Each structure stands twice: as structure tokens, then as C-alpha cells.
Structure 1
Amino acid sequence: MEEQMMQAAAQVLVGGTGPGQEGGSWEHKAPQNNKKTGIRWCFVMARALEWKSAPSFTPTTPCSSSWNSAGFPGWPLKVKESCTQDRGKPPNRHTPALPLRRECPIFQPMNVAEEFDRMSADYTAKMERLVPYYRTLTRLLAEGLPPEFRPQRILDLGCGNGNVTEELLRRFPQAEFLLVDASTEMLHLCRHRFAEHPGVKLRQAWIQELDFPAESFDLATAGMSFHHLQSPEKQALFQRLHRWLSPRGCFACADLLIDKDDEPFHSAHLRFWKEYAYEHGTDDDEWNWVIDHYHTFDFPDGLERQSRWLLDAGFREIRILFRKIGWTAFWARK
């Protein structure tokens, strides 16, 4: 069924461009009144877009569909009650099951903190060299928010050295910030970086163990941090995030959204990632370290899986701001 949908999806793509080219548009012509496959079709369309034109395709024309419950790259997702109608039903070939990842026995939280303590020196340069589109993804966590949105209380989850907060401060200089990270060295960098901003507070903690009173924040952000959480931890955190946010509050995330067992897409992602890293100055030793880190500490989940978890948590609107070869920026609104 999915192969047929992929073929159909490829047929309705129009104006796709190749690497280095500009322009291009696409239309969505999903089967009418087929709500069983509605969500799945939309993600097949997104996958077809990535395969057809990666890494530089950008949609320029909105989709037209009577079923607006799934997100396309760059277009809003407004969730209707009909989106939830297949929840709780047994999985079938139209609505595939989304299994949780098994716990990884070698994963120890303290190892992650120590890993990022070591990474803290020249962190930004390393991220720009090793993470495709890093600056674009980080910038979109501030610039991609709804234009009328004016958060006063902002939570930065897995703040690192403060690159996301720096972008947000430019747009919301009067806001109060709470930056959370498990790495002592990263928080040390943030303490010096934001010493002249009294509204910026720091907390050392594991983000999967956090809790706050209801409606404590207007905006929560996560820049390249949630892929360190295992599937059950992400699901639980999405539930808590929804509770922490004020009415119409937003969760904005930039991260790698991919399933490691999704072949051949995952292998294509790794090839592209390696080519990008070497083109930007990575050597063999550094790339071997990246892959070791990826297989040891990273537990990414795909866009479809995480979108379903956000809907289950109660978020009502999702917008995909950017997506190329798994690297994704989006926001979800309460």
C-alpha cells in the first residue's frame, strides 16, 4: 500500500528542483474522503518531496486538500476533531502501529553530560561543521514563530551554550528565560554569555526529570536536544510540556527527526550527513567520533511518530518550518 502511495505521490509533485536550483512547487491530491489514510498520505507526500529533490527543494505553493489534519513542509497544521478518530483503534495496514523504542542498555545519562562537557570548547563551530543547516534551524526557533506571538516566559530545554536563547533574546529582549542543561560546562558558558541579562536564569537538570506548575511558560524551545531522549521519555515530556504552557503557548523544536530503522531512507541520510561534514572540514577522526556518538547517545524518532505524540498530548496546531533529509524545525501550539 505504501509503495503505491509513494508512486502516486511522486506523480502529483510538480515543479520539483534539483540541488542548487531555486523555485518549484507541489500540489497535494490525496484521495477524497479517505480519512483512514489521511495522516499517512501526508507523510508519504513529505517523504516523496525529500526523496525527489533533496537537499534543496522548497515548496512555494500551498497544498489544497479537504483533509487539513497533517503537516506539509512549510504549511500550517490545524488539527480538527476528525484527526483523533483513529486513536485507540487496532493498527491495520492503513494506520501502521508506532512501536516504542526498546531501552538501550549502554545509555547512561551522566555519560551524555560528560560528553557535552568535552564538546563545550568551540561548540558552535563544531555544530556548524557537523550538523547540516544548524544556523538555519537555530534561527527558525525565533524567526519562525507566529508573528503575533509575544512570549514573556521562555524555557530553553537542553540549552547548550545558549545559541537558541541568543536568537530569542534578539526578538524578545524583555522576556524572562530559564535555561536548562545537564552539562556543567555548557551552563558555565551561558552564565558568562548572558551575564548582562538579568532576566536569564540557569538550572542544571535532566530535562526528562523536570516538572513545573501548570501554565508556567509561554514558549518552550528545544534545539538539538530531544534526540537524546528515548521514545517513552519524549512522549511523557510532550504531555508535561502541554501542561506547562499557557493557553495558546508554543513548543518550538529543531532536531533530527528520523527513524533509524527506516530503510533505505536512514542510510541515505547518513550518506548525505557524511558528505556535508567532510565538505565543511570534518576529518576521519572527527567523523568516527560523530558516528560513535550517534549510535551511543542518539535516539531520534521520525516526524510522523512525534507528530502523533504531540497530538496525543493535546497540541492543536503544528507547523513544519523546515525539513531536509531528516533535519527539521517545527512548532506546536497549545
Structure 2
Amino acid sequence: MLQVTELEMRMSKRIVRYDEFRKTVPILVKKYFESPRIWLDTGCGTGGSIRDSIDIFRDTQFVLADPSSENIEIAKHTMAGEQRCLYVTNPTERLNFGPDTLDVVTSIFSHHYYSDDEGRVTATRNCHRMLKKGGLFIVSEHTLHPEDQDGSDAQWKAYMRDSGLPEPFVEDMITRRYNEYFPLTEAAYIQLLNDIGFSEVGVFWSTCSDIGLYAIK
């Protein structure tokens, strides 16, 4: 089984402490569910988040969803025929699992690509709808630090340079903001989750460029 895909290697170079983040997700799930029955990873990319957890949660059915059919095909390959995985080629807002169906939903660096608030709200509301009462939603995104955005960006760029990324790419990650990805502040993310109806919301991971939040239905 492949452990790291090309997409995941690229993410580790541009997302600060990405490897640490991936290790944190199954630990957080374990805190709330000893053995979740159904776990959906929406915007799954090439399947890295589930690959980290599949041997930890031996009785869990995993659903890997992504709008990219190419990503789904790579994810299938890296799972090497794992029978507990179901694959769906759809974005979050079009997933149609029944209400109160899922124990865990993860969205790892995928919802910040919604270019308007309505799209992000619709996608997040659909995750809430599909979760059981007491279910766990984990979301990570690029974020803003308006109290010192220039300082945060300087730290982020230094990390990318230290990871070996060329200067044009480093600068492009900044200029893509509000053009290709659309981050919020920590307070805005928390407010969004509260407004949708989650009963408990918290931050479990944060860096100069990214944030990880959990929410309980």
C-alpha cells in the first residue's frame, strides 16, 4: 500500500506541520468514538486522512468523497482493495447520505475553495445534516490572522522555502488568496459552525497559515 501520494507530498511542503496534523486527526476521533460505524471524508483528495486511520479503526466503514475522479482513482489504488472503503465522486454539497447517518465527517483542506459564503454554508450544513446526534465534524482550512497578517505570511513563506519550494510558488500561495482559496478568521469559522447548529465547537490545531476545528452535533 502506498503511504504518501504526490498530492500529499506537495501538501506537506506548503502546510505547516501537516504531518503532525494528520497524526492528530485519528487521536481526536478516538477521544469521541472508540469505534465509529461510518466515517465520511469529504474532499478526500488521494485518501491520506483515511489511510492514516484505517488500521486504527478496524470495524469502521469509510466513505471517501471528492469532486475529482482522478483523486478518487488514486485513492482506490492506495487503499489496495480495502473492502471497508466506499468511493463517491461528488463535492460536499451534493452528498446525499441520509440524515443522522454518519458518526464522523472530516473535511481536510477542502472547504476553503468555496468562493462564496453560501457555498461554504451549504456544504457545512450538509455535513451537519448527515451526522448523527453526538456525531463529530472535523474541518481544517487555511485561515487569516488579521491582527498580524504580514507576520503570519512571513512565517508561512519561510516554512515553504525551508521545505524546498521555489520562490515563485511561495509568492503564488499568497497571491492565490481570495482568487483560488477563500480563508476565514478563527472567529468566523467558529461562528459558522455555531450558526449551523453544532452544540460544541473548538480549535484543536492551529499554525500561522491553517486551523483545525472540531464540532459536535
Question: Normalized against structure 1, the TM-score is what?
Answer: 0.59
Q: Distance in 2 between the 1:179 and 1:121 partners?
A: 16
Contact map agreement 2:16 2:207 (CA 8 A) in 1: no
2:126 is aligned, of 215, 225, 240, to 240
Distance apart, 1:318 and its partner CA: 1.9
Show CA shifts across 1:265-313 (max 9, x none).
Answer: 2222221111110011111233244345444210111211121121121
Distance apart, 1:240 and its partner CA: 2.1
Show CA shifts across 1:145-192 (max 9, x none).
Answer: 352413110110100111111122132122111111112221111010
Structure 2 match to 1:222: 107
Q: CA RMSD in A?
A: 2.0
Q: Distance in 2 between the 1:163 and 1:153 partners?
A: 17
Amino acid at match of 2:53: L
Q: Unaligned 5+ residue runs, structure 1? A: 1-119
Q: Unaligned 5+ residue runs, structure 2? A: none
Distance apart, 1:231 and its partner CA: 1.9
Matches within 5 A, 1:93-132: 122-132=6-16
Structure 2 match to 1:20: none
Contact map agreement 2:157 2:171 (CA 8 A) in 1: no
Amino acid at match of 1:128: S
Greater percentage in strand: 2
Amino acid at match of 1:280: S
Relative contact order, higher structure (CA 8 A, sep 6+): 2
2:140 is aligned, of 249, 254, 257, to 254
Q: Distance in 2 between the 1:253 and 1:303 partners?
A: 12
Q: Distance in 1 between the 2:194 and 2:108 partners?
A: 20
Q: Distance in 1 between the 2:110 and 2:19 partners?
A: 15
Structure 2 match to 1:267: 150
Q: Which runs of 4 or more aligned residues in structure 1 lie more than 4 Å from their structure 2 counterparts after TM superposition?
A: none
Q: Distance in 1 between the 2:7 and 2:215 partners?
A: 28
Distance apart, 1:220 and its partner CA: 0.2
Amino acid at match of 1:163: G
Amino acid at match of 1:135: D
Which structure would you say has the larger Rg?
1
Distance 1:122 1:289, change over 3 A: farther
Matches within 5 A, 1:148-159: 148-149=32-33, 150-159=35-44
1:142 is aligned, of 12, 18, 26, to 26
Question: Normalized against structure 2, the TM-score is what?
Answer: 0.88
The number of equivalent residue pairs is: 212
Amino acid at match of 1:217: L
Structure 2 match to 1:34: none
Structure 1 match to 2:187: 304
Matches within 5 A, 1:52-201: 122-149=6-33, 150-201=35-86
